[in-house]
A and B are shown apart, each in its own frame.
Chain A
């Protein structure tokens, strides 16, 4: 990093943010005693899992707290003036002009009623320092810098008329329009596909470096922040865990928590042992479409054997989840065949036998909506036992307790409802429900993407252990290629409903690569600071 880093511009000491209590009682504290400084041209990464308080800190820098919260302690000095003691007018002047914000969801953060240009120009035009023409010219210049298509006319469009990645960059243009001193990025690439994320991340970094703007970059993804930040602060439950240079955090993490965040990506698990060759599920030339019009699964063939883990990867809209629905029978295939142990499965769910249904189970992305909030764990996990095996009440209870133990969940949970459980615990209940049917194949649809990184890792470990014990096969749907390499022995890469590559992971992911596989693989952020540079260099050649 050979950039000029200047004077201290923001000095935060002992920041405390709490939910406003009722009456005498103070509310829960969201951020405890957080201190940091930011110098001109410097980028500070704030990283942590959900509930770490990172966004709350980012907003506090703009003198803003969400409804019901308040800054209850510490100082936030911007060029020596405390943001906390500023008047409403001073805070307004600060926002946008000196410190600007870039939100996670650009699609929701742009006003649908105005053009992009109107919104980008709003801050610089606010106090009449610049003329309309100057501001427009500058906005078009920013659009060009951010590699937006047709920069001269890009601003004439409305938010719903441009793509997600473009909108996220337009938001950066809006933030830069008044040449602020500090940019606050709040998970700006989280909602994007990996390949888009690389482009947007590169644009952001170029923008910050060329203008020498200081920035606070908030994310849950250590690999992403490593590409852009000089310093990284790790947060957990509203407290600072570790604060060091980006290189130190990645290479010499001192705290145990940081070490786990770094290690879980870097280590990797052994490839699942090669299975015997009797195909359990065999999909051949499957075709499916929505209402007979849009073909969403187009001639897809793959096969899974007992003990296999087949990962189906692709970006949003690639048809990977639809494929699961076709296998399950929720979306009937139009042509092609799906055989289970050599026997063809009827296309429609309702034509399948109870035993056919039992042998393929599914685990979902969001445990919140996959578990009936009105049922206890006994009812949720016990129902498949009673339904498929016709067991008595006491047998069902014994079996549920056994399954809870397998999931490392306390037996006392049996009479609780899902609302009393954490996200990771709910996902374990989802797994227990699938196992209760004693299936041969479990379809895992993005099972870790709604969970925090460390919790997700534990779920993956649990799944691997269960596979070793029970010899089930997994069809693992995911957009996260990092996971695939570690857990799957077979992989299928999908793009727009078609299979672009498939086979043993070691073969598919080794040269010669299919161009799309290569693009996907290279887009997965890696936990080293020079990854983005390498990707960009490779793309240029």
Chain B
């Protein structure tokens, strides 16, 4: 088991490294190169070549990758092309905002989704279950921005309970911050709860239909005891992986939601950077998003390994 965990950790690190290669390759090696991107319309062969030399782009890609990675590991992500500011300084407040939003959504969504998912699974086939199934199927089909705009339309414009835009600044006090981010949080919650709930229900159901659950009922155990003692320990690993998978989705979904509410987070920053061809910034944002995604997936797998009785107690 320890071997498997270590192996998975190692695999996670390898994936992180591969992600860095792909991000670097994607931004530096593809045909449209940095110099052309910076100069855009004013690009002539001469000044492109000059800029390439200035930026060190004429050196072999492997050397540049090694330097870039070396600096990135030390926390130096380069300088933004659009405003010449240090990328890390640019990122830090944005990252804090995004993490705040994601954490808030997680805090609300995870207990809600697991609770509803368990309820639906236990009362399988009931009216509640079918209603929830239909509603969540509808919800997962609705794009994040429609959910966002519907919330804005009714709660911000019609009722005027919350602001339309979530323009927080580092100075915004906690209370105001919660009020400002209420609608973006709700949007994220609605979107991931549906996914997470459906997956929780499915994994609990697959366990509830196994022969050892029938056996537990035939032993005369109460439904509560069967669910808590016999189904839950086996459902834990699949549920945790469901949660991690959705949190990983959250990391990405945040981009759209931030755009809807013009929330100054990492996602907005990345979208701006992409449209301005600000490559160092795109690289940095890509690294952070990919890192979060990979680490969450890795955690899910490791929890799965640790909670598997067959692996915990080898023959």
Contact = CB atoms under 8 A, between A and B. Distances in A.
Interface string A96-133: 11001101010011111110000000110010000000
Contacts of B216: 111
B220 A158 contact: no
5 contacts: A59-B218, A103-B211, A105-B211, A122-B219, A174-B219
Nearest to B211: A108
Interface stretch (A87-95, A134-142, A356-364, A527-535): A87-95
Contacts of A399: none
B61 interface: no
Interface string B213-226: 01111111110000
Main secondary structure, interface of A, reads mixed
Interface string B288-315: 0000000000000000000001100101
A58 to B, nearest CB: 10
Interface in A147-205: 157-158, 160-161, 174
A413 interface: no
B162 to A, nearest CB: 45
Given A158-B313, A160-B310, A160-B315, A111 B230 contact: yes
B269 to A, nearest CB: 45
Contacts of B211: 103, 105, 108-109
B233 A113 contact: yes
Nearest to A89: B222
Contacts of B221: 92, 96, 122, 126
Contacts of A113: 230, 233-234, 309
Given A95-B220, A96-B220, A123-B220, A111 B313 contact: no
A108 B210 contact: yes
A114 B310 CA distance: 10
Contacts of A114: 233, 309
A257 interface: no
Interface in B185-224: 210-212, 214-222
A92 B220 contact: yes
A308 B217 CA distance: 52
Contacts of A101: 215, 218-219
B220 A109 contact: no
Given A108-B210, A111-B234, A160-B315, A103 B310 contact: no
A59 B214 CA distance: 11
Given A105-B211, A113-B233, A161-B315, A62 B309 contact: no
A92 B214 CA distance: 13
Contacts of B234: 111-113
Contact of B218 (A95, A108, A110): A95
A64 interface: yes
B1 to A, nearest CB: 13
Nearest to A113: B233
Contacts of A109: 211-212, 214-215
Nearest to A66: B214
Contact of A158 (B210, B233, B309): B309
Contacts of B310: 112, 158, 160
Report, nearest first, the 3 A-B pairs whose CB atoms are least far apart. Answer: A95-B220, A96-B220, A113-B233
B218 A112 contact: no
Contact of B219 (A95, A108, A160, A161): A95
B218 A62 contact: yes
Interface string A60-93: 0010100000000000000000000000000111
A157 B219 CA distance: 20
A321 B240 CA distance: 41
B313 A123 contact: no
Interface in A374-416: none
Nearest to A95: B220
B219 A112 contact: no
Contacts of A110: 212, 215
Contact of B220 (A93, A160, A161): A93
Contacts of B214: 103, 109
B235 to A, nearest CB: 10
A64 B313 contact: no
Contacts of A108: 210-212
Contacts of B220: 91-97, 123, 126
Nearest to B124: A67
A64 B215 contact: no
Contacts of A161: 313, 315
